A and B are shown apart, each in its own frame.
Chain A
Amino acid sequence: QQQVKQSPQSLIVQKGGISIINCAYENTAFDYFPWYQQFPGKGPALLIAIRPDVSEKKEGRFTISFNKSAKQFSLHIMDSQPGDSATYFCAASGDMRFGAGTRLTVKP
């Protein structure tokens, strides 16, 4: 049973554009929502995370928007760069559940 649904599966963005990845969760008991970034040949690395008591968190070019009533959250990458090309996973905890991943390609 997949409790975290992530979309899109893949995303192509031009350099300087905004990349947006969406996730939806089911369990209202989840209280921690991290995003992970994975480069080929590496394990996922924690990128940014949010708790449900805030609606937005920003770290540099990365922003999480959180909508508790809709049980949705999204990752926004501003001024996307080719070095951002990677696979991104959302997750939700309590018991850490991962989305299926989004493969982002940023074209120069």
Chain B
Amino acid sequence: ETGVTQTPRHLVMGMTNKKSLKCEQHLGHNAMYWYKQSAKKPLELMFVYSLEERVENNSVPSRFSPECPNSSHLFLHLHTLQPEDSALYLCASSQDGQGAGYGYTFGSGTRLTVV
């Protein structure tokens, strides 16, 4: 399997639930990212990991907690979410940090609905 794989593809959760999103890349990239994509809004960068170290956290609420156990895997742990957190969550990877010069490879995303 190649590319960036995200699971699950769809997730419905209540506001009191705890769930996790998983991302796996098979490209040998050194950097991984979480983005939030909402309707009619630009892609919002949430977290950046470079060589398994978090290098950026764009003022994301603490109800979102990332984890990067190794350079191939990235998780986003979710708890006590709000309905406005419903969105498509995209994982991406790049050869270097910030994608400078190489672009990103995105997964297909997890469509999250908070009820």
Contact of A94 with B98 at beta-carbon distance under 8 Å, contacts A43-B4, A89-B43, A101-B42 already known: yes
Q: Which of A44-52, A58-66, A67-75, A77-85 contacts B (4 or more CB under 8 A)?
A: A44-52
* Contacting residue for A32 out of B4, B6, B40, B101, CB 8 A: B101
Q: Which of B60-68, B69-77, B102-110 contacts A (4 or more CB under 8 A)?
A: B102-110
Instruction: A81 to B107: give the CA distance in the assembly, Å.
Output: 25
Measured as residues with beta carbon below 8 angstroms from the partner, the interface class of chain A is 20 to 34
Contact A96–B99 (Cβ < 8 Å) = yes
Instruction: A42 to B109: give the CA distance in the assembly, Å.
Output: 7
**A14 CB within 8 Å of chain B:** no
User: Interface readout for A1-15 with B: 1 if CB under 8 Å, 0 if not?
Assistant: 010100001000000
Instruction: A89 to B45: give the CA distance in the assembly, Å.
Output: 14
B contact residues around A32 at 8 Å (CB): 99-101, 103
Residue of B90, B104, B107 with highest tally of chain A CB at under 10 A: B104
A contact residues vs B (CB 8 Å cutoff): 2, 4, 9, 31-32, 34, 36, 41-46, 49, 51, 89, 93-96, 98-101
